[in-house]
């Protein structure tokens, strides 16, 4: 399975991250402040310019006020609907 920021799995990951932020009522600027990042870095995550690792996912979820486990379950639920992943 190729690792690429443009793969379908990463598209779903980015979509999940953006939805977490929007559901939390946060702007990119507000989220960046909570994470100690620049707004441009949040934008790059959501636009597939930067790779998301597990630790960044955890920090992102926490900054959105979401338990990382719940965020991962949401992500896995979107992937379980795709039969071509495994």
* Residue-wise pLDDT tens digits, 11-63: 888 999 999 999 999 999 999 999 999 999 999 998 888 888 899 999 999 99
Q: Write down the pLDDT at residue 9.
A: 82
Q: Write down the pLDDT at residue 51.
A: 81
Q: Write down the pLDDT at residue 83.
A: 43
Q: Write down the pLDDT at residue 48.
A: 80
Q: Write down the pLDDT at residue 72.
A: 93
CA 80, 12, 71 angle in degrees (round to 5)?
Answer: 75
Residue 77 has pLDDT above 80, yes or no: yes
Q: Which two tokens stand for residue 22?
A: 């929007």
């Amino acid at each position: 399975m190729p690792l690429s920021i443009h793969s379908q799995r990463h598209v779903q990951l980015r979509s999940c991250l953006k939805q977490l932020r929007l559901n939390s009522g946060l702007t990119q600027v507000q989220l960046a402040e909570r994470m100690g990042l620049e707004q441009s870095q949040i934008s790059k995550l959501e636009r597939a310019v930067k790779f998301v690792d597990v630790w960044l996912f955890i920090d992102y979820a926490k900054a959105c006020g979401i338990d990382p486990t719940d965020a991962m379950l949401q992500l896995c639920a979107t992937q379980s609907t795709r039969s071509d992943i495994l």
